[in-house]
Every structure is written in structure tokens, then in C-alpha cells.
Structure 1
Amino acid sequence: MKRFSMKPGGPIVPFSDYILKVHSRCNLACDYCYMYEHADQSWRNRPLVMSEPTVVATVRRIRDHVENHKLQRVSVGMHGGEPLLAGHDLIEGLAVRLRGSLRGICDPELWIQTNGALLDERFCEIFLTQGIEVGVSLDGGREANDRHRLHANGRSSFSAAVNGISLLTSERYRPIFSGLLCTIDTENDPIDVYESLAEFDPPAIDLLLPHANWENPPPRHDGQATQYADWLIHIFDRWNSDHRPFPIRLFDSIIDTSLGGSSGVEAIGIGAAEMVVVETDGTLEQVDHLKSTFEGAAYTGLDVLDNSFDEAAAHPGIRARQTGESGLAAECQACPLVASCGGGLYSHRYQADSGFDNPSVYCTDLYKLIQHIRVAVDADMQVTPSSSMSRKPITSSILRQLGQGYGDRSAVDALKNSQRSLGRLLVASVYHAVPADPHARQAWLALTRIDQSTPAGLAAVLAHPYVRVRATNFLARAAAHRKGDARTTGSGLRSLQRELLVVLAAAAGARSGLATALPLTIERGGLYLPTLGVARLVLGEQRAEATLTSSSGSTTIRAGDGSELVLETGSGGATAVRNDGIHWQPTRSRTVHGVTIALVDDDPYRNVYGEDPSLPLSDAAAARWWELLEEALRIVRSDFPVYWDGVAGILTAITPLRPRADGAQVSGTSRDAFGAVGVAATDDPETLALLLLHEIQHAKLGALMDVVDLHDEQDSHLYPAAWREDLRPLEGLLQGTYAHIAVADFWRNRSHCSPEGSGHVADREYRRWRDATDQGIDTLVGSGSLTDIGLEVALQMRSTVHGWT
């Protein structure tokens, strides 16, 4: 009989998740329990409680394994049976031993899964003191829960479970409440179940398909092939329309894997098995749900007294669950949804004659559910992820205008719309890149509410140029973490995710006037709220935990030590009306020639130009900047009208840079900071006008390249550029050539205006940059690596330059 199939070889995958069976019996008699009601009955021969020698050996083995493999993250769960039957002292002692043993190596995540009937204040105090998160199993309201979850004498367990959950939802114990676990029964009404669970305002919900396989398939009414998907879809649609008030991990995992992320649940997704079970007698076993397939399915022949976790990790049954997509049935590997489904839960694939080399017995359900969620999410126009950015078509008229180097208001608006869509997608991707903690979820919910009630407030914050920088930096770190980069931990990513989402929600809430309450951290460098300003602790402390509350026209930031800042807020910004221990520096913003511009000298993510940003400006320095910008924009508007729509429509922020010691001009743009120009203060507005023309060209082309492909990205050749000594990649040459159209045109204009004629410096500069740009266009056209659209853009550039001569 074919039990396990796998490809041999390769290093072991160390265990990061441990389940410790602290008690082998239960005070309930749930009729669907895989431990007591399914094929494997080995529980009958186990001791009731994990003994002291077993506890000591287990803790020592975990420490050795974690230390040997330098694991950054370790999760240890206390399970049963019903783990609370083990008693207060055993559970507290085990937690103390685990934390003490791993001190200085890593901080373990401790959790316990209980039916809740035995929860009391003493248990909750232990969990609170030891940092043990508590999950409770509940299948819905009384009727739904009592369909399966009864005491052995047939008595309801619902009231006892609710009493336990009520303890966890109290203010004192809420921090240790991790969520509710519900096993699906399609006889129950899905919306009733959802609403019953939602009444507890859970931190998260797990919806579990009942354990079944091809030998013992799940019940289906009248042969309905997708009744479990249909049941779940009812809940998903309601949850989605409620703006996802709490995570439902199955749904979140489908969304995450659809975006290329990893699954947060074992039931779906492709990921290596990193879990091992220690029974009450010290036996090392595979995951418990295997006991629903056949007698001995979870057996390894190893125990914690005599064997290491490395030996368990090398067991063929465990290795069989670590082969990723290649270890799935051929039918699964060929499925377009395999990245999200991952073949389903391992035990659900079992069939006697073929072992686990089959699709899930819930295959049709999973396929329909995943397809439905992907379509629903793609169609959702709120701040939610999409499998690809919604791209508005670039018409031939717009392409021709932009190709020529110009672009009227409609062309610029098309670019801005595409950037707005991209920014929303990136922020949504941040939320779904890693499992969110409660504060990040709270911020996400606030963002969705703001987007519905006052979308302009959120749009203004998301349009802040360095929000995208922050989001792309985070997503790059998350991608590196998924590939095994140990420089960023999972907890570190969650901290960065929380920080980003909270400051966005705080700024958007303050601008919109929508009632918002959020937890914040004010670091030593200050708390920066995009588009509004920065709050700094007056006494120079390292950091302070604080809360931000906003309502119509007012925002208050209150630190834990009683320091307080009250702001008058709205769509126009934020002004301090009272500060006690917290200083407020508002973002400097002004409308110049109809263009609203911010002087961004305090955003911590502004260092994207390859040149050092300046220190925060003094009032006198800021005043000089406004004088320069006033005159520079007047020059652009009056002397270069064909570029004005681009400058006026795109420029939203100036980030001052430090001047170079050699006096060279310093300016730059970033593809990830649309709307911002970094520039060092110049001696005259003429030079600033030239630099702005040059940099806005980069911004236009970068935005265009975000929505259309202009060149073959596989072209790794380097090309000469007349304005640089080094060779340039094709994209760099394209960017430089396009930007220098405006530079040549600037000097062409000044040459025509010069009384000295062709010998004047302006004429020489014009000829220099015209020829350099013309050469760049010839190189681009001759490269053979432009797309059809890219070639059209290059030919339009050529028509502009040749039109001058």
C-alpha cells in the first residue's frame, strides 16, 4: 500500500512549530473529533498527563533544535484532548521552563487551544503573565455548537464555552485572546454561524473543513459537489461586505497566495511542514489530523526521551509533506489554482490504494471557493488587493503627446490615475503580505471606512510621494523574508506593517474628520504623519507609546506619560492648538501659481535620490525656497508652456538636498516617489526652472513605464550615452534621452532670446544637448529591444528634436 510519496535527499527542514499534548483526555465528546472518533485509537494507551521527565526532555530537545538551527521564530502550542485538564500548575510550569530555556536564543510564541469550558481567572492570569495566547473552539450559536460539541452525557457545552470566552473578551484578558475555531457543518446556516461568532468581536476566526478523505468522504446533500464552497462563499461575501472586520484565516490565505504570498493556514497553500507533535508519553508524531486516515498514520517510532527533533524531521512521513508543488498529485500540479490550494490539507488527500498521492476530497469545493474569492477581490474597488493593477488605456493621442516630450492635462491625468491605482494596490499588498496583528487590522479597517465615507482624505495621504517608497521597501523585505533572508524576522515585518498602516490611517483620519482611534509609537526621531507633519517628544525620550483620536476638526495625540498634543485638523493640514510635552512641526505647504507644493524636509523615507537630503529647514531657509519656487514656476509657465501641464499636474513636493562641495547641480526623481523632486537650493530661479523641467520629464516617463512596456526587460546590454562616461542599461538610456529633450529645449529657448547670437553659452548648450539627445534616440531605435509602443515613443521623440532643426 502506498502510504507516503516523496523525492529523497536534501537537507531537513527544522521544526518551528511544536504541539505538546499536555493531557490525552477531554471533558467533551465531540462526535467529529479526529483524536477519539476516527481511525487511530492510540490515545487509549497514552498516560493522562505529560509527566515531569517528559516535560524536561521536551524543553531540552526544543532548545537544542532551536539553537542548532538558529531559528528566529518558534511557536509552541499546548493541546490535548483538553489541555486545561492538565491543571494550572503543569501549564504554568511548562511555560516558565520554555521561556527560561530559550531566553537569549529566541522569544517563543506560546499558545493554547481549548474548548473554553474550564477557563477561569486563575488560568487567565497564568496566560497573561506568561504571554500565552488562547484560542477557543466554538461552532456558532447554541444550536450550531450543540450539534456536535456536547458533554459525554449529552449535555450542552455552549454556556460553559461562552463563559470562558467572556473572560477573554474582558479588558484585562483581551490581549491574550487569539480567536475562535469553528468546524464547518453545512446543516448550520452560514450567516447565523458568522453572526454568532462575530458577536464576540474575535481577533480572528478559523473555519475548518471537517476531517474526511476518499475512504471516508464528507457528507453531501443529494450529491452536491460544492456544498462546502457554497456555505463558505455565503460567509465570505458577508465578511467582505462588512469590510473584513476581523481576519478569517482561510479567506485571508486565499487572498495572500493569490498575490504571490504565503498561506497562513495548513489547510491550503504550498509550504514545507514545520510542525511536530509530542504526545503525553513523549512519543514524537506527525500532525494530529493524520489520525483521521488510518491507524498509525501519525506514528514515527521516535520519542523525545531517546530521539532528537532532527531525527524526527528526517522521517519519511514528515519529509513527504516538505516537497512543495512537486510532491502533489499530477492533477494538482497541472491546476491553475495550485499556488493557492496547494492540494488542500494533507490528510484530506488519503485513499487506501494510493496513499496521499491524490487531490483533496474537497477539491471541487476549494476550486470554486478560490475562484470566487479571486473574482470578488479583483472586482472590489475599495482599498483591497488585486492580482494585477487596473490599467487605464493609454490612447494613441496621449501616447503621441507624451512621446513628443510634452503632454497636456488629459495625458497627465491619465498618468496620475494610474499612479493612484498603483499606490492603492501597494498599500493593500502591504496589509496582505504578512499576517496582521490586531493594531494593523484596526488601522486597515479604519482605512476602508475612511475610503467609503471621505475618500478624498485617504486619496490625499496615499498620493504623498514617499508612501509608495515606504510600501515598496516593506514589500521587498517581505519578499526577501519569504526567500529565507534571515535579516528580517516575521515579527519585524509585522512591526513595520503595523507602523505603516497606522500612520496612514492616522493621517487620513485626521484629514477626513472621521472618528478614529489608533495606537501609535513616537520614536526618538518623531512620529511622521504624511501630508500633516511630525510630532516629537519634548523631553527627548527614546520612544513613547501613545494613542491618536480624531473627530471632526480635531486630533489629539496622548502619550502614556500624560503628554498631550491637540491639533486642529482638516483637509488643509494640521495646526497645534495645545501642546504639553509633545512638539508639532506642520508640513510646510503653499500654493504657487496654482500648484500646491509641500516642502518635505522631515519624511524619514525621503532619502531616495542618491544624494543626502538636507536637515529640516529653518524658517529663513524655507522662506528662500518659496522665493525661488515662485520665480522658477513663473519662468516655466511663461516661457515653456508646452511643459506647464506636466509640471503643474505632477509636482506636489520638493525635498531639499544637501549641496555638493564642488558646486555641481544636484537634483533627482525616484520611480517610487511620483510627484516629488529632490533638489539642492540653487543660486537663481533660472537654474531651478531647468532642473524642474528635467526631473518632471523623468517622472512622466516613469509613470508611463508603470502602465505600458517600452522595452524588453531581458535586454542586459549596456549602451553609450553622450552625457555620461559610463555605459547605461537600456532603461537608463531611455530615461536620460527623454529627460534631455526638455534640457535641450530650455537652452533652445534661451538661445533664441539671447542678444549675443550663436556664440552665446545658451546656443552652445542647446547644440550640445540637442546632439546628445539625437544620438540617444538613434541608439534606442537601433537597439532592437524596444517594444512596438517603445519604438513609437522613440520616433515621436525624434520628430520633436528634428523639428527644431
Structure 2
Amino acid sequence: MDSPPVPFSDFILKVHSRCNLACDYCYVYEHADQSWRTRPLVMSETTMAAVVGRIRDHAQGHRLSRVSIGMHGGEPLLAGHDLIEKLAVRLRDSLQGICDPELWIQTNGVLLDERFCEIFLAQGIEVGISLDGGKVENDRHRVHANGKSSFSAVVRGISLLASERYRSLFSGLLCTIDTLNDPIAVYESLASFDPPALDLLLPHANWENPPAHQDGPGTAYADWLIRIFDRWNADLRPFPIRLFDSIIDTSFGGSSGVETIGLGSAEMVVVETDGTLEQVDHLKSTFEGAAYTGLDVLENSFDEAAAHPGIRARQVGLAGLAAECQACPLVTSCGGGLYAHRYRAGSGFDNPSVYCADLYRLIEHIRVSIDADEHTRPAPSERVHRIPRSSLRQLGQGHGDRAAINALRAGQRSLGRLLIASVYHATPAEPAARRAWLALTRIERHAPAELAAVLAHPYIRIRATDFLARAAEQRAGNGNSTESELRTLQREVLVAVAGAAAARTGTVLTLPTTVDGHDLYLPTLGLARFPSRGQPTEVTLTSSPQSLTIDTDDGSGLVLERGSGGVTAVRSDGVHWQPTRSRTVQGVMVALVDDDPYRNVYAEEPLPPVSDAEAALWWELLNGALDLIRREFPAYWPGVTGILAAITPLRPRHDGAQVSGTSRDAFGAVGVAAPDGPETLALLLLHEIQHAKLGALMDVVDLYDEQDSRLYPAAWREDLRPLEGLLQGTYAHIAVADFWRSRSSRPHEGADGVAQREYLRWRQGTDQGIETLVGSGSLTEIGLELALQMRSAVRGWA
């Protein structure tokens, strides 16, 4: 394997090896691996000290700014109040000045009491509770060793955790599926607790021990989950269900927020009570010793564990899947399923999941269902997007994990659809616009992911908002656009989107339009440039399963052909085609957008289309910048990978100052003048992605009182700023200060101390901005919580 091992960012610490329940599906006690019998009951003082030191060394050595540490078991609360508090205090003290650990605990809730909750509150430990439904559903499996019900004790624990004082600690409920339980009864019971999130887990099974209650290649588990999905979707998704959200997000090109599906790499390691280092412990459900590494935290580092062949095997993504999985059209969502579910004696894990048929049916159903039909689904404006409290805390720290970024992306997807729908409904549509709209609704039904990819093109929103502003002015009687001009603009927007989506999906349609000028831009595909002749050009787009043909009224034309590599020009008669250049850089698909007519939204002008040689330099710079961010700033990596979609080259300033920018209406795009090297580009990207994150958050929740018209000082500006500007600048400069904090701690930081001075400068300015925001009195409750998280993050730096 050529690439270096991926450092661990998720640590599972087994603080107690026994349990006070006897769940008959438990992979620790009831499956193939019985190594628990030889483990000590609790983690010893020696092991605790060793694991704390190893995590510190690993985080410091890899400059990790984010680590997740879970306390697990068995039942972790059996370890007692004192041990859990001592471990949490040691972890936080050890990582002080290195990173702010995310501490969590997964419990059955039976022993949860106020003393535990006070410890969790003081140490910032989030709590997840396992519950399989109502009393009947839960007690089918989750009972005490004597067979007595655990339900009432668990409900007491959940009620305590959900109380006003401790609600911020509640991370969600975890339910293991049993198809004998009624899915709607399970959903309603769990929903009654108003969980911040819900996990629905397939019971651990493999080809040697198939799932219960399923004959052959049936889809009983998919059918069960689909009933909950349909109900949850009809309820406007009142809380995250991580399995469903991950399928939706991966269907739109995002990353998975759960381990059970998706192509994410393994970044998790388990430490048993005796200090043994193991792979993910659901492997215990396959065969004796499956999770074994031969390593021990007392003798071995986490770097040695990261290089273990078993862990490396789960880091290769698509290439590590069975050939059948690699060829599957749903692989980007499924990811081959949970690693342990692929096991078969003889072929090991080189198989599809034993739940393959279930996953295929579930993913296909969700892809078809999401936002499928405007007439049967609520309008986008009626849907509710919520940012879970845990995600808000993540974002407040300046970072944002995959779940937080996916929540922001979901809001942007809905906003993009809302804007296109608003364009159609803003003014009576002429026939070509109606035809484009009907094509879009048809494409949305059979290829929602492809349409979403087109709508995610950053500058479509600029087109739509420009049109809607003109339409609003015209309705108010003070606009400069005539009704005819508005209809022309409406048609241009809808035809451009529908034409691009049709070309990507092979949808059969014919769209006439008029190009006023000599450019027709198809978002995500490229720019068709017609000969200028001083009058509008009548154009017809004809899409077939194989190609998109663009014909003009003067006989010139262009043929774009669909292939495995995308859409390419195969014939041009007097029409110049400039494709949008896209490339996967450090695992991130990025477009070099230098051709979109609506890209002029930055303080500096965009450059005209760059040459291939200049584009090669951009790719080299971007590769270096993303590599640096991935290695040295992993806490910001989910935000970069989840948001960055386009780079637009800008003109440099005459004074040589660095130039970069984002637009609230162009989510995913960063405008930047060619920097002096990858390090500078990394800094600019970190800064601009912060703006994008906060802008997306403000599209979903109110952070401040818009009636506040006061102007505030900002350390990075000579002029006074409105409250939104101060909030944006302060949030963005958390990343700037953090960048220089990391740079200043490098061994080769020069004697001139430039990085240290920059860190102190931006740290001080960020501190001042946060205190001004907190003291303004104009932040909403959520805005104040965000600002306090920002303060906590900055004060946590050494």
C-alpha cells in the first residue's frame, strides 16, 4: 500500500469489560469471539495513564486538532463515577494546548444518575443511550440476566438526560433492528423522547451466520427500514436518522456520517481494559481473534496500530471492495456495507455485505423518494432543516465534523431547489421555460443525484437571485426589466439547468432558447461560444441517451457525447466549446470555474479563461494546499471536503496583497488570485471555507437580531462593521489564528518569529471580536451559544 497510514482520530476506550444486561444479540458476549472472558473488569491506573499518553503523543505528532474519544464496554457506567471522571480529567489535561477532545459515552442508561450527569456536564461528555423501542420491542432482547425488563430503568435515564439541565449532553438513541417488531411502533416510541439523533443498526450477521428472520436473498430489513423512512420523511425529518441522512448525503456526492455505509476510511482504534489495541470490535461477530492486532498500549504506539494490515485494509476505499461491489451503481452510498457483514469463511471479507439486497433496495428507494415530486412532496419552503446541538457545538469550535457539514449541505440543497422553483413561479412561463421545468421534474424523479449535482454548481444561485431581484423590482413598479425581458431571463436560467442535467443523464428532450449575445453556459459542463453577429441567436438543444446536440438558426452547431468520463465534444461546426475543467485533488472533486458568466461576485475581477498550462499550475497549487490541510489541520478537513467545489481564478492586486473571497450566494466556490505557494493557498482556503460554513448556517438558523443597525470595530478592518460582518470576520479568523498557531509551533519556525507574531495578532483580534459579539446583546440564543463555543475554542489554545 503506497499511501502512508491514516492517523487515528477516533478512539474507543473499554473502561469496563462486563455488562449489567444480557442482550442476546450482543457481539461482545454472544458472538464468535469470547476474548472478553480473559479481560480485567476495569481499566487499571497503569493502562489509563498509558492510553492518555499515547493519545496525546498521537494527536501532537500528527498535529490533530480534533480527536473523538468514546468510553465504552461492556457497560461503561459499571466502571463507576470516580474512574470515569478521572479518565475525562486526565484526557482534557493531557490534550490541553494540542486539541479539544470530543468525549462521549455509549450506555444502556440503566445506571445513569445525577452524579454521572454532573460529571458529564463538567467534562463535556456527550451521552448516547441504547433503546430498541417501547417496552415490548425493547424487552425482546434487552433484558437483565434473570430475564427481567430493563425498559423502565432506561426510560428513567433518558428522562434525566433529556431534562433542561442535561439536555445539551444528549447525543441520541441507538436502536438495533428486529424485523419482528413493528417498525412504526418502534419509530413512534423512540420519537416520543425527541432524540437529538437516532441510529438504526442492522444486527451483526455475516455469510456464516446470516441475519435472523430472513430467508435467502430477501429484503426484510430493507422493507422494515423503508416503512420508517417513509414515515420520517412525511414527518419532515424531525430529527436526524444517521443511516438515512448518510444515504441522502452520499447520493448527492457527500460523505457518509456513519460507519455502516459509505467509502470513508478507517480512523478508529479500540483499547480494551487490559490495554490491548484492537480493530473495530464489531469484527468480534465474525470469528475468534478477528479484531486482534498483537499490539498493546503499554508497549506500542498508535502509529504502529495504524500501520497494521487489518486496519490498512479498511482504508483503501473502493479498491478494497469485492469486484461485484466495485461495479455496483450504488457503491458510493453503500460502500460495501459494514466490514464485518462481508465475512465468509474461505474468502474472508472480499464479499458483498450479507445485507447486500437490503442495502440496494433501501438506497434505491431513498434515492427515488427524496424530493421526488413537487405535487406530492411539501414545497422546499415548508421543509424544516435543523442543526443538531452536537453539530452546532462542532461548528462553534470553528471546525464541524461530517455530520455538521452534511447538515449545512442539506440546507443548501433545499435552498438551491427552492430558488429554481421560485424562478419558474416568479412570472408566467413561456413554452420553452415550461418545457425545461417539466424536464427538470422528470429528471428529478429518475436521476435526483445528477440533478442535485447540477444545482450544486455554485453560480446557479447567483443567476437565480439576479433574476428574482429583477422580478421583485418589476412587481414593485420600480424595475428596469420588461415582462418580456424577464421571461427571456427565466427561460435562460431554466434551459441552462435542464440542458446540463439532460446531458448528464441522457434524458430525451428538445429545448429551444435564445442566446442574447454569443455565450451559452451549461453548468458543470462548459461554455458554448457562438459567432457574434450583433443579434440574438436562436438555439435548439436536443438531448438523447448518447449525446446533446446544440443547433443554431444559422446552421452552426455542436455535438456533445456522453461517456464514462463525462460529456465531451465530438463535433463542432462554427461553435467553440470550452469544457469546465474538473479534477479529483486529494480526494476532493474540484472544478476550475473560469468560464461561468455569473462568476463576477468577488471584490476583485475574475480572470478570463486560463490556458491549460496555467490550469496545470492551479492543480499543482491546490494539490499542495489540500495535502497540507489534510495532514496538519484534520479538524477542518470535513468542511473543506464537504464544501469546496470550485476555484475561480481572480486578478491579482497591484500592491501584491493576497486576494480571496466567497459569496453567500455561491456556496462551494472560492475566488482566489494565484498565491505564492501551497501554504498560502491552504491559509486562504481555510479562511474562506469558514465564511462558507457560517453563511450556510445563517441560511438555516437566525444568529443575530437583524434590527441591530449599529456598527462595530473589527481588528482586521479600518472601517466599522455591521453585526453580520463582525460575526463573519470573527468566525473566519478563528481558522486564520489556528493556522498561525500551528505554524508557530513547528520546530523550524525561524528566528524572526513571523508565525508567532501572526498568531498573536489574529488571536488577539479574534478574542476581541468574540467578546464584542457576546456583549452586543443582539445575538439570538443559538447565536450566543455559537459565540460561547467560539470563545471556548480560542481560550483552549495554549
What range is the shorter-chain TM-score in? 0.5 to 0.7
1:498 aligns with 2:482: no
Shift of 1:726: 0.4
1:674 aligns with 2:667: yes
For the 8 Å contact 1:457–1:571, the answer to whether it is kept is no
Indicate which of 450, 453, 461 corresponds to 1:460.
Answer: 453
Take 1:658 and 1:573, find their aligned partners in 2: how far apart are those partners?
30
**Corresponding residue for 1:640?**
633
For the 8 Å contact 2:507–2:543, the answer to whether it is kept is yes
**Corresponding residue for 2:475?**
482
Give the letter aligned to residue 458 of structure 2: P
Larger Rg computed on CA atoms: 1
1:528 aligns with 2:521: yes
**Corresponding residue for 2:676?**
683
1:448 aligns with 2:441: yes
Distance 1:397 1:571, change over 3 A: farther
Per-residue deviation, residues 603-655 of structure 1 (Å, max 9, x unmatched)? 01101112111111111111111111111111111111110010011000001
Question: Where do 5+ consecutive residues of structure 1 fail to align?
Answer: 1-377
Indicate which of 742, 764, 777 corresponds to 1:771.
Answer: 764
Distance 1:567 1:802, change over 3 A: same
**Corresponding residue for 2:405?**
412
**Corresponding residue for 1:511?**
504
**Corresponding residue for 1:612?**
605
Shift of 1:569: 2.6
SS at match of 1:590: strand
Take 1:384 and 1:713, find their aligned partners in 2: how far apart are those partners?
31
For the 8 Å contact 2:662–2:671, the answer to whether it is kept is yes
Give the letter aligned to residue 694 of structure 1: H
For the 8 Å contact 2:373–2:445, the answer to whether it is kept is no
Instruction: Output aligned runs, 1:51-130, within 5 Å.
Output: none
Which ranges of 4 or more aligned residues in structure 1 deviate by more than 6 Å? 382-385
**Corresponding residue for 2:573?**
580
Shift of 1:415: 0.5
1:555 aligns with 2:584: no
Take 2:600 and 2:509, find their aligned partners in 1: how far apart are those partners?
30
- Sequence identity (%): 71
Indicate which of 585, 589, 595 corresponds to 1:596.
Answer: 589
Shift of 1:537: 1.9
1:437 aligns with 2:452: no
**Corresponding residue for 2:796?**
803
Instruction: Output aligned runs, 1:649-728, within 5 Å.
Output: 649-728=642-721
Distance 1:540 1:510, change over 3 A: same
Indicate which of 382, 389, 392 corresponds to 2:385.
Answer: 392
Shift of 1:756: 4.4
Shift of 1:392: 2.1
Distance 1:689 1:522, change over 3 A: same
Take 2:512 and 2:665, find their aligned partners in 1: how far apart are those partners?
28
Take 2:505 and 2:725, find their aligned partners in 1: how far apart are those partners?
40
For the 8 Å contact 2:372–2:445, the answer to whether it is kept is no
Take 1:454 and 1:571, find their aligned partners in 2: how far apart are those partners?
16
CA RMSD of the aligned region, Å?
2.0
For the 8 Å contact 1:391–1:418, the answer to whether it is kept is no
Per-residue deviation, residues 325-382 of structure 1 (Å, max 9, x unmatched)? xxxxxxxxxxxxxxxxxxxxxxxxxxxxxxxxxxxxxxxxxxxxxxxxxxxxx99557
Greater CA deviation, 439-448 or 540-549? 540-549
SS at match of 1:576: strand
Question: Where do 5+ consecutive residues of structure 2 fail to align?
Answer: 1-370
Indicate which of 530, 547, 560 corresponds to 1:537.
Answer: 530
SS at match of 2:540: strand
Take 1:625 and 1:384, find their aligned partners in 2: how far apart are those partners?
42
Per-residue deviation, residues 393-415 of structure 1 (Å, max 9, x unmatched)? 11110000001100111111110
Indicate which of 740, 751, 767 corresponds to 2:733.
Answer: 740
For the 8 Å contact 1:382–1:448, the answer to whether it is kept is no
User: TM-score, normalised on structure 1?
Assistant: 0.52
Give the letter aligned to residue 433 of structure 2: A
Shift of 1:759: 4.8
Give the letter aligned to residue 793 of structure 2: T
Instruction: Output aligned runs, 1:313-332, within 5 Å.
Output: none
For the 8 Å contact 2:380–2:414, the answer to whether it is kept is no
Shift of 1:505: 0.7
**Corresponding residue for 2:122?**
none
Shift of 1:467: 0.6
Take 1:422 and 1:783, find their aligned partners in 2: how far apart are those partners?
30
Take 1:715 and 1:697, find their aligned partners in 2: how far apart are those partners?
23
**Corresponding residue for 1:338?**
none
Take 1:511 and 1:785, find their aligned partners in 2: how far apart are those partners?
46
Distance 1:523 1:644, change over 3 A: same
Take 2:562 and 2:772, find their aligned partners in 1: how far apart are those partners?
52
**Corresponding residue for 2:394?**
401
Per-residue deviation, residues 85-135 of structure 1 (Å, max 9, x unmatched)? xxxxxxxxxxxxxxxxxxxxxxxxxxxxxxxxxxxxxxxxxxxxxxxxxxx
For the 8 Å contact 1:385–1:425, the answer to whether it is kept is no
For the 8 Å contact 1:512–1:571, the answer to whether it is kept is no
Give the letter aligned to residue 798 of structure 1: R
